[in-house]
Structure 1
Amino acid sequence: MPTSPDVLSVRALNRATLHRQHLIQRSDAMPLDLIQHLVGLQAQMPNPPYVGLWARLEHFHKADLTCLIEERKVVRAALMRSTLHLVTAQDYLELKPLIQPVLERQYRGSYGKQLNGLDPAEVAAAAREILRQQPLNNQDLGLKLQEVWPDHDPHALAQAARNFEGLIHVPPAGTWGHHKSALLSPGEVYLGEAVASRPDLGQLILRYLGAFGPATLKDISVWSGLTSLKPALQERQGVLRTFRDELGRELFDLADAALPDPDLPISPRFLPEFDNLLLSHFDRSRVMDAAAKEKVFTRNGIIRSAVLIDGFVQGLWKVEEGQKGNVLRVQMFQPFSKQDRDMLVQEGLKLLDFVAEEGTENQVQFSGF
């Protein structure tokens, strides 16, 4: 095992990242401030961001996030990796121009051939005028655009608008329990402000390190979807320090960022589906080994709800709601101590109180191995 202070072990990376994610000790920050710190929350589904905030905040209620979305202080849109995120309105305006190359690359790879010969920017401009009149869902927007371009697939036309114009999901889309098709609005129209004219890629890298570091250049690329990051990273060398991981890869970090004791005890935690912690590094060994990853990451793209023991993924969970009570079913990958079991039960009952309808017989049940 390397002993050099310039080499960070897997446990050292685990503790550092969990500390910055507020998963060692819950934060007393306001939800808006935490969302800003985390540079958004993965939000393919409406409920997981709520659970992700609950896992990180000392006092958090569903209405806290719902109000932020309804007041347009937090918005849901395609950003990093061209996937849906909840971000602050301020971050949307800053991030959209930075992430635009990712959105365009994803569109061309998936739909470019279907709109061969058609300028997607022209489609996006037409979509903006249509949606300026009223928000529409993806299907209806595609059909409206097909009236202009009848020889093209309506879904591909709607995707051009999504990726080139930038569309925000209008609430109640993105709020707890809302699973209907989202109504869409152009970001600048919805927020009444223009996106940043001089976005700062270097600052985005620093913010990533503040929430997910220390990290390799590949980690930053995997999180954002962006490539050619090295020049922006080099411009910020004055506020960075470097390490190596146990495989010799170069790690970048903020010069003043805390590095907790690798042996710092950590209480068990429940993470929601698609949690940022599980998706934001190229090498995910700092939070789960290869065997755990196979169980958490499904072939159809779902990232399952995970259980952290000693800071690492060691199980899955799901909630089953019933008329008499609710059950939190926990599937563990390997044996664990009675102390961890007791803490999981305590934390699990709090989770049930947060996610489930009121019940008189809430319980936590274990299976696995």
Structure 2
Amino acid sequence: MGARGTAVLSPRALNRALLDRQLLLGRAGLDVVATTGHLFGLNAQSPDPPYLALWSRLDRFTIEDLTTAIETGSLVRSVLMRATQHLVPTADFRLVRPVLSPLLKRVQRNVFGRRTTGIELDDLVTEAAELLSSGEVLTRPELGRALARTRPGADATALGWTVQYLLPVVHPAPSGTWGKRGATPVAAFPDLPEATAGSTREMVRRYLAAFGPATVADARTWSGVSGLPEIFEQLRPELRTYADESGRELFDLPDRELPPADLPAPVRLLPEFDATLLAHADRTRIMADPIRRQVCQGDAVAATVLVDGTVAATWTRDRAGALTVVPLRPLSANDREAIEAEALRLLTFAAPGLAHTVHFGA
């Protein structure tokens, strides 16, 4: 116990709590929309990682399951948390996108402010909304060029990206489906509600349900939203509090029990940018700092292998059906055997019909 009887949670206890909420202690029997809501979004910078993230968490998951949810609009892909592409249920987009508006405006200003100097941004957004109001889907480059026609000399690329940050838009199928790459399509998402303190509080509750127990700094790191200390204070009467071993205050939902810290954790292969690795300011519950520096380099976050619940290796897959594992710490013979078995299962899912091989790099 810490000060005033506050329970102190070890890194391993926090690890098992995170794995439990991220469905990484055992594959679940949920459908893809319910799972994506439970996880509070899947990182979707590239089309394939959401599929691999769900494969690592669900029983009997197929590529068609997720593709159908994207094609029918049950799940939408857009710029959301941390100003990166995420896949979320439609209801969660309506909740989160208004809360993230100040973040996205700040990102536009920081990244494209100079390239849109002299452009009246409110007029730009209004014109873009009119262009998309008919239900027409334009690619981001097409939208930028259309807007540049009435703004001679303007940077069309910067205009297209600016609209993506300032106007609530989604990227409909086939964008974001398995193996589909190319120019990003942009479609309007009408009738989005205004952000309120209530919607921000609900976002924090949902974050804790998916990633708690967590600090205020953790929630900001995950979302990119400022002003969260006040929101946590508003929620304090309804939250449970803990402390970590460094004395930082952790918040959680009162009805969420923590799994035993000694619970076994199976080997799992996570895709690039998996939220499990990115949802906290202090990531030591999932990977040691020396390993984090090898996994997170610049804007890249490698695909990783969890052994006993923490990152032990990175992995890559080629088009010929080979998967290469690069250990980041010593692995026992049993660890390697378990990793190889899980890697072969992943290859059977992702690359059927090919000869599958698993290699361990230096």
User: TM-score by structure 2 length?
Assistant: 0.95
Unmatched tracts of structure 2, length 5 or more: none
Question: Aligned residue for 1:174?
Answer: 176
Which residue number corresponds to residue 207 of structure 2? 208
Shift of the alpha carbon at 1:335? 2.1
Which one of the candidate residues 354, 358, 361 is aligned to 1:364? Answer: 358
Moved over 3 A (4+): 1-5
Does the Cα contact within 8 Å between 2:75 and 2:87 map onto a contact in 1? yes
| CA deviation map 1:285-314 (0-9, x unaligned) | 111111111221123x12110000111101
**In 1: Cα distance, 2:327 partner to 2:29 partner:** 30
- 1:354 paired with 2:352, answer no
SS in 2 for 1:19: helix
SS in 1 for 2:313: strand
Match of 1:264 in 2: 263
Give 5+ residue unaligned stretches, structure 1.
Answer: 189-193
Distance 2:234 2:2 in 1: 30
Alpha-carbon distance, 1:5 to partner: 6.4
Rounded to whole Å, the distance in 1 between the matches of 2:94 and 2:125 is 18
Corresponding letter in the other structure for 1:321: R
Q: Which amino acid aligns with 2:107?
A: Q
Please tell me whether residue 287 in structure 1 is matched to residue 286 in structure 2. Answer: yes
1:345 match: 340
Residue 259 of structure 1 aligns to a residue whose secondary structure is coil
Q: Kindly indicate whether the alpha-carbon contact (under 8 Å) linking 2:2 and 2:243 is maintained by their aligned counterparts in 1.
A: no
Matched, 1:164 2:191: no
Which residue of structure 2 lines up, in the alignment, with residue 313 of structure 1? Answer: 311
> 8 Å contact 2:325–2:358 — kept in the other structure?
yes
Q: How does 1:124-163 map to 2 (within 5 A)?
A: 124-133=125-134, 134-163=136-165
1:242 aligns with 2:241: yes
Deviates more, 1:61-70 or 1:333-342: 333-342
Find the aligned partners of 1:180 and 1:321 in 2 and give their Cα distance: 18
Q: Which of 186, 189, 193 does residue 187 from structure 1 map onto?
A: 189
Q: Residue 110 of structure 2: SS of its match in structure 1?
A: helix
In structure 1, give the amino acid aligned to 2:307.
I
CA displacement at 1:2 relative to structure 2 = 8.1
Number of residue pairs the alignment of both structures matches: 358
Q: Which residue of 1 aligns with 2:296?
A: 297
> Following TM superposition, by how much is the alpha carbon of 1:121 offset from its aligned partner in structure 2, in angstroms?
2.3
Question: Residue 133 of structure 2: SS of its match in structure 1?
Answer: helix
CA shift, 1:198, in A, is 5.5
Q: How does 1:50-65 map to 2 (within 5 A)?
A: 50-65=51-66
2:227 maps to a residue whose letter is S
Partner of residue 123, structure 2: 122
Amino acid at match of 2:105: E
CA deviation after TM superposition for structure 1 residue 337, in Å: 2.1
Q: Distance in 2 between matches of 1:230 and 1:320?
A: 44
Select which of 328, 331, 344 maps to 1:333: 328
The alignment's TM-score, normalised by the length of structure 1, stands at: 0.93
What is the Cα deviation at residue 119 of structure 1? 2.8
Counterpart amino acid of 1:13? L
User: In terms of mean alpha carbon deviation, does 218-227 or 257-266 score higher?
Assistant: 257-266
Q: Is the 8 Å Cα contact of residues 121 and 164 (structure 1) preserved in structure 2?
A: no
State the one-letter code of the partner of 2:189: G
Work out the CA distance in 1 between the residues paired with 2:6 and 2:227: 29
Q: What amino acid is aligned across from residue 362 of structure 1 in structure 2?
A: H
SS of aligned partner of 2:322: strand
Cα offset, 1:111, TM superposition: 1.3
Letter paired with 1:364: V
Whole-Å separation in 1 of the counterparts to 2:36 and 2:205 = 16
Q: Deviation of residue 103 (structure 1)?
A: 0.6
Deviation at 1:162, TM superposition (A): 0.7
CA contact (8 A) 1:35 1:41 kept: yes
Q: Sequence identity of aligned pairs in percent?
A: 38
Q: Secondary structure at the match of 1:144?
A: helix
Taking the aligned partners of 1:209 and 1:250, their CA distance within structure 2 comes to: 13
Question: 2:13–2:261: 8 Å Cα contact kept in structure 1?
Answer: yes
SS in 2 for 1:236: helix
Pair 1:198–1:146, CA change in 2 (3 A)? closer
What's 1:191 paired with? none
- Cα pair 1:41 1:49 within 8 Å, conserved: yes
Contact 1:76 1:168 in 2 (8 A): yes
Q: Does 1:72 align with 2:73?
A: yes
